[in-house]
Amino acid sequence: MNENFTNSDILIQYLDGELEGEQLLAIREKIATDKNLAAELESLRLTRTAVATYGLKKTIGSVHTEMMKELANQTPAPVISMRNLLKYGLRVAAVLLLVAGSAAVFQYFTATPEKLFNDNFEAYQLTETRGNANSNLLETAYKNGRMQDVMDAFKQLTVPQPQDYFLQANAALRLRNAPAAIASLQMLQKINAGNNAHYYEDDIEYYLGLAYLDNNQPAMTLPIFERIHADKNHPYHKKISPWLMQKLRRLADQQAVSR
Q: Following DSSP, what letter does each residue of 80-145 receive, concatenated?
A: --HHHHHHHHHHHHHHHHHHHHHHHHHHHHH--HHHHHHHH----------S-HHHHHHHHHHHTT
Residues 176 and 241 in one domain: yes
- Domain limits for position 174: 118-258
CA distance 76 to 168: 70
Same domain flag for 57 and 143: no
Q: What percent of the chain is predicted at pLDDT more than 70?
A: 66
User: What value, to the nearest 5°, has the Cα angle with vertex 199 and ends 195 and 201?
Assistant: 110
- Domain count across the chain: 2
Examine the domain organization and report whether 99 and 218 are in the same domain. Answer: no
Q: Which residue has the higher pLDDT, 75 or 122?
A: 122
pLDDT value of residue 14: 76
Half-sphere exposure of 119 (CA within 13 A, CB side): 15
* Residue 204: pLDDT over 70: yes
Do residues 116 and 213 lie in contact, with contact meaning Cβ atoms separated by under 8 Å? yes
Report for 101-115, 119-133, 182-196: range of highest mean pLDDT: 182-196
Identify the pLDDT of residue 100: 42
- Residue count (the chain): 259
CATH value at residue 243: 1.25.40.10
